[in-house]
Structure 1
Amino acid sequence: MAKPNKKGPTRTVDIFCAKCKTQLFKYRKGGKGNLIKCFVERISVDHTMNQTHCPNCEQEFSRKTLIRGAPALKIVGKKVTFK
């Protein structure tokens, strides 16, 4: 299977916890759709400790997985927002 583009998109979005509005990541997102998965190599700034739980309210917002052979975070529905 094809791996995600190494260079990736240039547009960055800020990802926040939906419950407490704490900033979690700054992520290079491609496309216009919803945030379903985050490739770890595209995260430019990480404000979390383990990338699966919010550092402020300890809510689980993602699960670690492999997508197309690359490590990624599968986002749990309605647990994060982004701008």
Structure 2
Amino acid sequence: MARPNKKAPSRTVEILCAQCKTRLFKYQKGGKGALVKCFKERIVTDHTQVPCHCPSCNQCFARETIVRGVPAFKIIGGKAIMK
């Protein structure tokens, strides 16, 4: 399968915890669809201490996986929102 584009998208979004609204990531998102996965190489700022867990409420919001040969976080439905 094709790898994600080398040139990072210009659109930057904030990823928040759906339960407590704490900032998790600042992420360069491509396209206008829903938030399904976050490629690790496109994360600009990471506010989490433990990967895939919210720093304030400790809820697991994603799973670490490999997507198209690149490390990524697969977002669990309804656990993280995009602003």
TM superposition score normalised by structure 2: 0.96
Superposed, which structure 2 residues align to 1:1-83 within 5 Å? 1-83=1-83
Output one character per residue of 1:33-76: Cα deviation in whole Å (capped at 9) or x when no partner: 10000000000000001221000000000000000000000000
Distance 1:61 1:39 in 2: 15
Which residues of structure 2 form unaligned runs of 5+? Answer: none
Distance 2:67 2:50 in 1: 19
How many residues end up aligned between the 2 structures?
Answer: 83
Residue type matched to 2:80 in 1?
V
TM superposition score normalised by structure 1: 0.96
Distance 1:12 1:56 in 2: 23
Which residues of structure 1 form unaligned runs of 5+? Answer: none
SS in 1 for 2:52: coil
**Runs of 4+ deviating beyond 6 Å:** none
What is the root-mean-square deviation in Å for CA atoms of aligned residues? 0.7
Residue type matched to 1:15 in 2?
I
Identity score, percent: 63
Distance 2:46 2:39 in 1: 12
